[in-house]
Structure 1
Amino acid sequence: MTLKQQIITHAKQQYPNECCGLIVDGTYAPCTNVADKPTETFRISHDQWQPADIVVHSHPQGQRYLSGADRQTQHKMRCDWWIAVNNNDDWEIIKYRYTPLLRGRTFEYGKHDCYSIVEDAYMLCGIKIMDYQRKGEAIEIADNAFLVNFPKTGFYQVELSDMQSGDVILTSIRGNANHASIYLGDEQVLHHPYGGLSRREGFCDVWHKAMHSVWRHKDWQPDMMTAIFNDLEATR
């Protein structure tokens, strides 16, 4: 059987409990879920634990996104996680690459910056956006890189009056868009300011005055905010 078939078979065998396992050197090693509440969470015993390339578990009730607890543990382990998700007995594997928690990152241009946090937040929501080659901050601002690349990766512009949670807000200095943030609703944004820590903060008057445009991804669904809020919950 393929890895996918092995994992789904294990998940079905353990239903309604969460299954768990490890992928080591391309081989799936099923483990026993020793959590106190195995229908709600999972825990792998010390006897079965080993350094792994990927951690696997199931969401028998159909949750598609990593929970706050999942993100906390994934951040500690620093490896990819795969989830076997049950959708009316039609199982699928959803793969989440490891990325640091969205809040509290140290700024590093091209690795942990305002575009990176949008890219990683959308990945947690199940949307892959383009990881384009970075040329340097000043060059990107001069070239209007956001406006050039956003349409290529599935974004389209919407009116400010139509802005909703999950939209990306571009702000500008001297006319060109130079910063991206994710609108969380209730006048809150998630962003990574230059030289600072990534954070959630109020969308104040300064932000409004610097607004350039609002963008929405063609694949965005409102329930995807669950993935972002779960991650933010993990750093409370």
Structure 2
Amino acid sequence: MRKHILAAVQAHAAAEYPRECCGLLLAVGRKQVYFPCENVATEPTEEFRIAAEQYAEAEDRGQVIGIVHSHPDATSRPSPRDLAMCEATGLPWHILSWPEGDLRTITPTGETALLGRPFVHGAWDCWQVCADWYQREWGLDFPAYAREDGWWEQADNPSLYEQLYEQAGFYQVDRPQRGDMIVMAVGRTVHPNHAGIYLDADPALPGESASVFGPGPFLLHHLYGRPSEIIVFGGPWLDRTRLMLRHRAAR
């Protein structure tokens, strides 16, 4: 990071302390500039969020080439959420510990393992492990669906899986085959709130090994608060099933 930008980030971190500061690194012509943003997170001492309107304002001024935030009274080590959101945005993330002043940059790898990833709602969650499987196995790309944590708990909230599956290219089936998405209702929920990929009797994932036992069928899923995993699909999981969905690109 260039010295004048680092100085601007440090000044922003000092002004916002003990809140997390946040901003965007922009390329404006041949120059790089720091665009400070307001942290609109509910708990700004623990996390940050940039309003969509302010992000759009930054894009009007230049190309966004990085995301910046501070870790007040903590190291610059990225949290699981930092790692997940870096992958989700596809941009470098610059993390400044404050007041220590250590700067660390993380970059997206584009190949986060499907198994064992920590749960971060909106970035590494049940929908994302499904979307990543489809991208790696079938080359499908889906738009970034905004989803607030707990959207499934209120009847007046949209039922995201039920309302969006058709426009995403899925249709309902009665019997699953490998690659179908299984949508379930887990816990106290108003709407179906969980999904996984039906793997039939073969739990193999390219380049990854899973410790699963039983004759199958198997399901790749990412349960709230747990690492992503492959389980035997049946019993209570079958009872929780609300939709079996097949994509038009099914092979």
TM-score, length basis structure 2 = 0.46
**Rg comparison, structure with higher value:** 2
Determine which structure has greater relative contact order: mean sequence separation of CA pairs < 8 Å that are 6+ residues apart, divided by chain length.
Answer: 1
Higher normalized helix content (fraction of residues): 1
TM-score, length basis structure 1 = 0.49
